[in-house]
Amino acid sequence: MTISDFDGYPLDGLTPTIKVLAKYIHETNKSPLPMCAVSALAGCTLATQGLIKVKWRDAPPSPVGMIFIVEALSGERKTANDQIALREHRVFDKRQSKFEADDAKEHARRKAVWDAKRRSLLRSIGQGAAKDADTKQLEDRLEDHDKLQPVQRRRPRMLISDITAPAVARHLRETYRYAGLVSDEGGVILSSGALSNPAMINSIWDSGDGVTDRMGRGRTEVYGASLTVYLQVQPGVLEQFLNRQGQLTHASGNSSRWLYTNPPSKQGTRFISPYVDPYLDTAESYHLRIRQLLAKYDCDEYPSQKIKEFSFSARRLLEWFSDAVEKELAEGGRFYFMRGAAAKAPENCARLAAIMHEFEGDAGEIGAPVVLGAIKIVAWHLNQYRTRFAPLTQMERDILDLEESIFKHHHRWMQTNGQVKGAELARYAPKRLRQVDKLLDIVLELAIQGRLQVWDESGGSWSVNLHYWIPNHAPAPRPEELEFGVRFLYHPQRERILRRVWQAKAAKGHPQDTNGKSWLWPGCELPRL
């Protein structure tokens, strides 16, 4: 099943430099835009998580590590996306690996000298003790010498993969306290057991502290760490993982921390354009900023972390979002069956705003515009999570199945610029939706969401314009008197259809109305600044 967007990915929620890279990846690889945006955001998070913490409530500052999960088919160019977004991270890690090898040689030399001196002191103390001589001075020298034991410099590594949960904790404790568990073949991570201890991952996500115990290796305690998880995984692999360990993943609240997406596939539509925008190749500004941030880790000590705080208006906006989500947690609310994920949304929003603010190099407090963008993005992922993991109404399931069918067959209607008779659309709809009157109700909901236009003709028939699925073709002439993408003048059920449109308007359950208002989900209007 492909999972539809609520209102398309909110590209305008990204800050300028991140948006440029997301568009660049999208135009270069023709991957679904949400995948490109997540790649860009993951790169920012990996570069900033060791440099900042965020504070927005009366609580200790939080790490800004994130968990990005992208479910996508093989062939969606996941690797190609990451080759662009994580280019500088891999260059950095490669350079650190070389330095680490040089450090190991130097450390071995210094350690050998230190060991030789220690053995000499111990021998002298032993000889003195055998003669019943005073060895206090030698013992003091040994104590001072032990304080000078050579320690190999800790070299940062941005990316780790193919690793178990205890090894993750050991890496954060012994190698470097900031890291990213990253893979464009997420099945490697899922099968390695890296997420087999969700309580530890949750604890590190919450506060930066975590504990893992393993027989034979003892207890590993992690303090002050930050871990970002970014996995791109094929649907069958994720399903297998959830069947095997899904109850633990959901029950522990680990999946509640995810920014999840499963965008519709672009395969079959990724045609090479003969026109190349000369202003498109501006991704270097993103890579330059990544290099600037990564350079702050290349030092003998851990970088000092700034505490990012919010302006008064930004904090009020976050509180509004928190309240808006809270309303939907009650029985009958939109997020009642996914209360864990919804409850974590404000925290994810605060972290994302801090990351984007720091990445743009902005000084001072985080402002309301950045928070507004973060709200749009987190709410979009929340809707994606709901579609994938929460029980849906029958109407929602029918909409998803019809959208999947349209995507599968949309090439048939390219010659008509996406204009399709209702009976023709029913012919290719899922079997249970082929009754034209039943299909019309599903089509109306898609029109209200802004994903197609529908109008009737004399005689009782109706047609649609699939402008969302066939954007590269000239749209059909916009019918007169269109409201919410709907016009019905002759249909026998005209009154019922218009009543549904009016209900949608009254409930404000559409993504955007004619006045340009935006909606995070049905009934939740996004404030204007």
pLDDT digits (tens, 9 = 90+) for 6-37: 347 999 999 999 999 999 999 888 899 999 99
pLDDT of residue 477: 57
- Across residues 311-321, what is the average pLDDT? 96
- Per-residue pLDDT for 225 more than 70? yes
Q: What is the pLDDT of residues 361-380, one digit of tens each?
A: 988 999 999 999 999 999 99
What domain count does the chain have? Answer: 2
Largest interatomic CA distance in the chain: 118
Return the beta strands (E) in 449-504 as ranges: 453-456, 462-465, 486-487
Same domain, 68 and 201: yes
DSSP letter for 256, please. Answer: G
Report the sign of the C-alpha dihedral through residues 448, 449, 453, 454, in that order. negative
Mapping DSSP to helix (H, G, I), strand (E, B) and coil, where does residue 60 land?
coil
Structure letter (DSSP) for residue 338? G
Choosing from 354, 369, 389, the residue where a domain stops is 389
351 and 419 share a domain?
no
pLDDT surpassing 50 at residue 408? yes
**pLDDT tens column, 94-114:** 998 888 787 788 888 888 998
**CATH number of the domain within which 316 lies:** 3.40.50
Domain boundary among 389, 419, 454: 389
> How many CA atoms lie less than 13 Å away from 260 in the CB half-sphere?
24
Judgement on whether residues 15 and 164 belong to the same structural domain of the protein: yes
Q: Kindly state whether residues 437 and 498 are assigned to the same domain.
A: yes
* pLDDT score of 218: 64
Give per-residue pLDDT as tens, 143-170: 889 888 888 777 888 888 767 888 888 8
Mean pLDDT across the stretch 182-190?
83
Percent of the chain with pLDDT over 90: 39
Is pLDDT above 90 for 45? yes
Structural domain that includes position 193: 11-93+156-269+278-389
Q: How far apart (Å, rounded) are the C-alpha atoms in residues 216 and 247? A: 28
Is the pLDDT higher at 474 or at 136? 136
Non-local (6+) Cβ contacts of 27 within 8 A are: 277, 280
Is 52:310 a contact under the CB 8 Å cutoff?
A: no
Phi-psi region of 365 (alpha: psi -120 to 50; beta: other; left: phi over 0): beta
- Is the residue at 127 inside a domain? no
Strands of 33-154, DSSP E: 52-54, 67-71
Q: CA 76, 77, 83: angle at the middle one, nearest 5?
A: 155
Q: Which of 325, 360, 389 is the last residue of a domain?
A: 389
The residue behind tokens 């997406």 is: 261
Higher pLDDT, 509 or 407: 407
Could you tell me if residue 5 is inside a domain?
no
513: confidence class by pLDDT, cuts 50, 70, 90: very low
* % of the chain exceeding 70 in pLDDT: 89
Whether residue 454 contacts residue 485, with contact meaning beta carbons closer than 8 Å, is answered with yes
Output the pLDDT for position 106. 83
* pLDDT at residue 509 in the model: 39
- The per-residue pLDDT for 443 is 92
258 and 289: one domain? yes
- Same domain membership, residue 515 and residue 431: yes
Range 245-262 average pLDDT: 84
pLDDT of residue 100: 77
Place 310 in a pLDDT band, splitting at 50, 70 and 90: very high
Please check whether residue 401 lies inside any domain of the structure: yes
210 Rama sector, left if φ>0, alpha if ψ -120 to 50, beta otherwise: beta
Label residue 277 by pLDDT band (50, 70, 90): low
Single pTM value for the model: 0.78
406/483 same-domain check: yes
Same-domain check for residues 414 and 318: no
Average per-residue pLDDT for the chain: 85
Residue 179 reports pLDDT greater than 80: yes
pLDDT digits (tens, 9 = 90+) for 490-500: 888 888 888 88
The residue among 219 and 206 whose pLDDT is bigger is 206
State how far the Cα of 418 lies from the Cα of 477, in Å rounded to an integer. Answer: 11
Q: What's the whole-number mean pLDDT along residues 251-278?
A: 77
pLDDT at 281: 58
DSSP assignment of 151-170, as one string? Answer: -PPPPP-SEE-S--HHHHHH
Same domain as 168, residue 291: yes
| Mean pLDDT of the region 414-421 | 88
What integer is the mean pLDDT of 84-98? 91
Residue 130 above 50 pLDDT?
yes
Whether residue 101 lies inside any domain: the answer is no
Q: Is residue 402 part of a domain?
A: yes
Mean pLDDT of 31-56: 95
On whether both 63 and 166 belong to a single domain, the answer is: yes
Q: Does the residue 118 lie in any domain?
A: no
- Same domain membership, residue 197 and residue 246: yes
Predicted confidence (pLDDT) at residue 454 exceeds the cutoff of 80: yes
Please give the pLDDT value at position 216. 56
pLDDT at residue 511 tops 60: no
Give residue 196's pLDDT band: very low, low, confident or very high (50, 70, 90): confident
Read off φ and ψ for residue 242, nearest 5 degrees. -65, -35
> Residue 67 pLDDT more than 80?
yes
Q: What is the pLDDT of residue 4?
A: 37
Q: Is the pLDDT of residue 479 over 70?
A: no
Residue at 128 is within a domain:
no
In a domain, residue 132? The reply is no
The verdict on 425 and 478 lying in the same domain is: yes
Q: What is the pLDDT of residue 162?
A: 66
Mean pLDDT of the region 287-309: 92
